[in-house]
Chain A
Amino acid sequence: MNHSARWKYLLILTTIMLSVLFVMPNFYGESPAIQIMPIKAGEKIDTSLLQSIEKALEKSEIKNTGLILENFHIKVKFKTAEEQLQAKSLIQKSLGNKYVVALNLISNSPNWLSNIGALPMYLGLDLRGGVHFLLQVDLSTALEKTTASYLSNFRTALRKEKIGYYDATKNNDIMQIKFKSKEELNKGKNIIRDINDNFVFQEIFINDEIILKVIISEQTKKSITEFAIKQNLETLNNRVNELGVAEPLIQQQGLDRIVIQLPGVQDTAKAKEILGRTATLEMRMVNEDKVDPSIYEDGNEDQIPVNSEIYNDRFGNPILVKKQVILTGERITNAGPGVDQQTGQSIVSITLDGKGASIFKQVTRENIGKRMALLLIEKNLTEVVTAPVIRSEIGGGRVQITGMNNTQEATDVALLLRAGSLAAPMEIIEERTVGPSMGKENISRGVQATIWGFVAIIIMMAIYYMVFGVISVITLSVNLLFLVALLSALQATLTLPGLAAIALTLGMAIDSSVLINERIRDEIRNGNTPQASISIGYKMAWGTILDSNITTMIAGLALFMFGSGPIKGFAVVLVLGILTSMFSAIFVSRAIVNYFYGKKRQISKLSIGEIFKVDNN
């Protein structure tokens, strides 16, 4: 009765071997390394870069222990941290500022292991050190900005068609236009509908006023906000890249939040500065009706035309620009520094996306000879970067900005144009920083707690249940092996509470073995033969094991659903630990017992500790 089918042994052996394979990478340790990536996130890398890095290292005789080319970055391993630092400054110098060089640690596990997907456990920020930010994206501002640009479009269109309206205002995302007559209103409505079909209209007639309310449909609002988040994510990606972080994580969370995790970052001040920078770019026409804007300087602000505003350029000269925005930074897909081949001046060349290109083409065609201003808005400070004269119609979306003082300025402006535009402002609403020494300490604390707890359990079980106690301990070790293997294979984030959960699940997993052992003792007490006792014991314990594990599982799932960060880490380990402990208690411990006892026909006594006999009933 106590035989396990051959397939069960095979299944267990295979699982154990696989687990050993996946646990192995955790024991190889890590090497210092540098990681080289292009400053523009997501740009691919080729072998020529690899060769130039190799050459540079050879030249200055810095020995590396391996170069790895991946899709978006190159990693170079070193023996010592000293070589790593030397190499970092060397490579950064030789590659220039098109690339970012970051410090990193790479697992020393052999390649064949990583090739089959066996990687070390993925440590959370509380174990490896670093910064975690949660950013709140202010979507209502993004919506307002879009509304404002719609309204300005309407005004232009209505004026063009000579439709009589005398007031166009907006309140948050609701626009309101007052018309002179009902016919004008109907005509105006059609024009607006032509511009964009996604509006909801409402006509109001009170006190001789004829008002058209234009409301943006929910669907459009959704797409506006979705776009804003996407844009912000992209911008953040570029900015984080600038920071030179080896393995950053930038992710949308929920509807309007973004999580950023920067492992290994110590300079939190700089990280915050760069992430929090809210630069937006706008292209607007210069109002050239008034030749000398300086007349407005002395408090003559009432005389500024309603459609225009005054801003200073980089040299402090005031420039009168129109309020209407032609293009914003969102339309820029790329920007880079360059040199004008005719004049030898530093320039910035910009590439616009399709819609941007067509708008730009139209505007330049209609405004040849006039000046277009490029405004940079940073922390509520608006500055005219440059205001060149449009010389000809510019199609194809490739624009050159002249007027840069030197190459450094061109590089800076290009960087800002690439990375500078946020579709909506953001605010840091959660920050968690863990220093590097703290991370290491947390690991050793968690590991020590687990090890000593484990040792104590081994001693207790062996004394109390003898051979069956040893079998329980073996089962528990196998369980630990499975759990660590599963965590490594799934690359689930391991946090300090997660480490605590490993220890806790060990303490709880022993419950299954205890239940089984106690049941077997019970059966012997009731006068059953040893073989029968084993068989009945396992059978009777199974239902109880299932029940008690499922209730813990419910708690684990709740933690996973409602928890965040480190707590989620706890939940993941708890849930996985329950699964592995059930598997090992049912399959593994039974298989071991059957292997030792099942073959013998008759056993006189089970080594399961002393059993006190009671005269039951």
Chain B
Amino acid sequence: MEFFRVKKDIPFMKYRKISAVISTTVFIFAVLFIVIRGLNLGVDFTGGTMMEVSYPKAANIENIRETLRSINLEDTQVQNFGTEEDVLIRLPLRKDLSIAELSEKVSTALKLSNNLMEVRRVESVGSQVGDELYENGALAVLFVCIGIMLYLTMRFEWRFAIAAIIANMHDVIIILGFFALFQWEFNLTVLAAVLAVLGYSVNESVVVFDRVRENFRKMRRANVAEVINNAITRTMSRTIMTHLSTQTVVISMLIFGGEILHNFALALTIGILFGIYSSIMVGCPIAMWLGTNQTNLAISNPESKKENKEL
């Protein structure tokens, strides 16, 4: 079986103006959603308490709200979580109660009103810890970006490094845009997915760039666009197979992973889909636009000279 029976190289770079318009538009929309709607940050980042409770029969949300109101907890969010029996309760931080007291107060009150209630999960995060987790998350993203750029500069060239990181940030912003648009909860696990996407989707650019470099050596007479087109076309089959298998696993996570892994898998899905597009239609045009050519890529790298001799 072979998915891509292409006779000639697909002229991807011919469409780079159209793709630039598309990418920019999507990117701007994503940024707009993030700015206007904002991310629905989980308690990991905002601080506060999240409790998952379950009942043997379908839970009465109104009753739960009433119970919470009776113990003077007004600013709460109560909703079903996954199934009718499971309920997610969210409580903001309070000045008069410590986080340890708050969750205890809620579970005692709910137990009193229905003895069969079971607390499945409690996540309470103080404001200080929330701020730190937020800060550390931002630091991690920064660290990954710098790390990847340094590595790519070393291994290829600064033009590729910049192209790859822009393609990557494009993916990350779009993931965040989706989370802002649909107000899916953004928590620590989702952040982990975003970082995994950062590392993973740069693979895509690396594979294509690797081919581009090789082609510069082989296809001496071809121009830059032809070289890139050939590189993308030749790696197409691999791109599809790899992403298909990763996406298969992620779908399996979406189906079997339960509520906790749901948003994690969603972030990965968006990251994988846009990762394919961006490494081809964002990364390559930018590398081209920055002036990547035979001289600065194939020759400037001492290692590639060595490889040349071997071949």
Q: Which residues of A line the B interface, CB within 8 A?
A: 133-134, 136, 268-269, 272, 276, 427-435, 437-438, 441-442, 445-446, 448-450, 452-454, 456-457, 460-461, 463-464, 496-497, 500, 503-504, 506-508, 510-511, 514-515, 518, 521-522, 540, 543-544, 547-559, 561-567, 570-571, 574, 609-612, 614-615, 617
Contact of A612 with B246 at beta-carbon distance under 8 Å, contacts A452-B256, A511-B203, A562-B137 already known = no
Is the CB–CB distance between A272 and B100 below 8 Å? yes
Taking CB atoms, residues of chain A closer than 8 Å to B281 are: none
Is the CB–CB distance between A437 and B124 below 8 Å? no
Is the CB–CB distance between A429 and B253 below 8 Å? no
Q: Contact mask B187-224 → A, CB, 8 Å, 1/0?
A: 01101100110111011001100100010000100000
Is the CB–CB distance between B196 and A566 below 8 Å? no
Taking CB atoms, residues of chain A closer than 8 Å to B144 are: 554-555, 558
Contact of A445 with B192 at beta-carbon distance under 8 Å, contacts A431-B122, A548-B207 already known = no
Output the nearest chain A residue to B238 by Cβ-Cβ distance. A518
Is the CB–CB distance between A555 and B249 below 8 Å? no
List 19 A–B pairs whose Cβ atoms lie within 8 Å, in order of A's numbering.
A268-B107, A428-B126, A429-B129, A430-B125, A435-B119, A437-B118, A445-B256, A453-B253, A456-B245, A503-B249, A507-B245, A507-B248, A510-B242, A514-B241, A515-B242, A552-B202, A554-B144, A557-B147, A567-B192
Is the CB–CB distance between A551 and B206 below 8 Å? yes
- Known: A429-B129, A449-B249, A567-B189; 19 extra A-B contacts, CB below 8 A, are A272-B100, A429-B126, A430-B129, A433-B119, A437-B120, A438-B121, A445-B256, A496-B260, A497-B192, A504-B250, A518-B237, A543-B307, A554-B144, A559-B140, A559-B192, A563-B192, A566-B188, A566-B189, A610-B2
Q: Contact mask B138-163 → A, CB, 8 Å, 1/0?
A: 01110110011001100100000000
Query: Residue A429 contacts which of B5, B128, B265 (CB distance < 8 angstroms)?
Result: B128
- Is residue B255 contacting chain A, with contact meaning CB distance below 8 A? yes
Contact of A551 with B255 at beta-carbon distance under 8 Å, contacts A433-B121, A544-B206 already known = no
Query: What is the bound-complex CA distance between A508 and B242, given in angstroms?
Result: 7
Is the CB–CB distance between B252 and A503 below 8 Å? yes
Query: What is the bound-complex CA distance between A453 and B120, given in angstroms?
Result: 27
Is the CB–CB distance between B191 and A567 below 8 Å? yes
Is the CB–CB distance between B245 and A449 below 8 Å? no
Which residues in chain B, 114-138, are within 8 Å of chain A measured between CB atoms?
A: 118-126, 128-129, 133, 136-137
Query: What is the bound-complex CA distance between A612 and B4, given in angstroms?
Result: 8
Query: What is the bound-complex CA distance between A554 and B192, given in angstroms?
Result: 13
Query: What is the bound-complex CA distance between A527 and B2, given in angstroms?
Result: 17
Is the CB–CB distance between A435 and B98 below 8 Å? no
Is the CB–CB distance between B100 and A428 below 8 Å? yes
Query: Residue A430 contacts which of B119, B124, B256 (CB distance < 8 angstroms)?
Result: B124
Main secondary structure of the interface of B (DSSP, over half): helix
Query: What is the bound-complex CA distance between A563 and B242, given in angstroms?
Result: 27
Is the CB–CB distance between B257 and A449 below 8 Å? yes
Taking CB atoms, residues of chain A closer than 8 Å to B151 are: 550-551, 554
Closest 3 CB pairs of A and B: A555-B199, A453-B249, A507-B249
Query: What is the bound-complex CA distance between A506 and B4, given in angstroms?
Result: 25
Contact of A457 with B245 at beta-carbon distance under 8 Å, contacts A429-B129, A508-B200, A562-B140 already known = yes
Taking CB atoms, residues of chain B closer than 8 Å to A558 are: 140-141, 143-144, 147, 195
- Is residue B244 contacting chain A, with contact meaning CB distance below 8 A? yes
Taking CB atoms, residues of chain A closer than 8 Å to B108 are: 269
- Is residue B66 contacting chain A, with contact meaning CB distance below 8 A? no
Query: Residue B2 contacts which of A136, A504, A611 (CB distance < 8 angstroms)?
Result: A611
Query: What is the bound-complex CA distance between A496 and B195, given in angstroms?
Result: 17
Q: Contact mask B256-272 → A, CB, 8 Å, 1/0?
A: 11101100110010000
Is the CB–CB distance between A452 and B199 below 8 Å? no
Query: What is the bound-complex CA distance between A559 and B214, given in angstroms?
Result: 33
Output the nearest chain B residue to A556 by Cβ-Cβ distance. B199
Query: What is the bound-complex CA distance between A445 and B207, given in angstroms?
Result: 33
- What distance in Å separates the Cβ of A479 from its nearest Cβ neighbour in chain B? 13
Is the CB–CB distance between B199 and A552 below 8 Å? yes
- What distance in Å separates the Cβ of A246 from its nearest Cβ neighbour in chain B? 21
Q: Which residues of B line the A interface, CB within 8 A?
A: 1-2, 4-7, 52, 98-100, 103-104, 107-108, 118-126, 128-129, 133, 136-137, 139-141, 143-144, 147-148, 151-152, 155, 188-189, 191-192, 195-196, 198-200, 202-203, 206-207, 210, 214, 219, 234-235, 237-238, 241-242, 244-253, 255-258, 260-261, 264-265, 268, 307
Is the CB–CB distance between A464 and B1 below 8 Å? yes
Contact of A435 with B261 at beta-carbon distance under 8 Å, contacts A453-B248, A463-B1, A504-B249 already known = no
Query: Residue B103 contacts which of A431, A460, A514, A561 (CB distance < 8 angstroms)?
Result: A431
Is the CB–CB distance between B120 and A544 below 8 Å? no
Query: Residue B143 contacts which of A456, A551, A562 (CB distance < 8 angstroms)?
Result: A562
- What distance in Å separates the Cβ of B296 from its nearest Cβ neighbour in chain A? 18
Is the CB–CB distance between A547 and B206 below 8 Å? yes
Contact of A431 with B124 at beta-carbon distance under 8 Å, contacts A449-B256, A464-B241, A511-B242 already known = yes
Taking CB atoms, residues of chain B closer than 8 Å to A547 are: 155, 203, 206-207, 210
- What distance in Å separates the Cβ of B50 from its nearest Cβ neighbour in chain A? 10
Contact of A564 with B136 at beta-carbon distance under 8 Å, contacts A268-B104, A457-B245, A558-B144 already known = yes
Query: Residue A507 contacts which of B99, B123, B133, B250 (CB distance < 8 angstroms)?
Result: B250
Query: What is the bound-complex CA distance between A133 and B103, given in angstroms?
Result: 13
Contact of A136 with B237 at beta-carbon distance under 8 Å, contacts A431-B103, A558-B140 already known = no
Taking CB atoms, residues of chain A closer than 8 Å to B123 are: 431-433
Query: What is the bound-complex CA distance between A553 and B148, given in angstroms?
Result: 10
Output the nearest chain B residue to A257 by Cβ-Cβ distance. B129
- What distance in Å separates the Cβ of B111 from its nearest Cβ neighbour in chain A? 10
- What distance in Å separates the Cβ of A426 from its nearest Cβ neighbour in chain B? 11
Is the CB–CB distance between B6 and A614 below 8 Å? yes
Contact of A555 with B198 at beta-carbon distance under 8 Å, contacts A434-B121, A507-B248, A507-B249 already known = yes
Contact of A445 with B249 at beta-carbon distance under 8 Å, contacts A433-B119, A514-B238, A547-B210 already known = no
Taking CB atoms, residues of chain B closer than 8 Å to A574 are: 196
Taking CB atoms, residues of chain A closer than 8 Å to B128 are: 136, 429
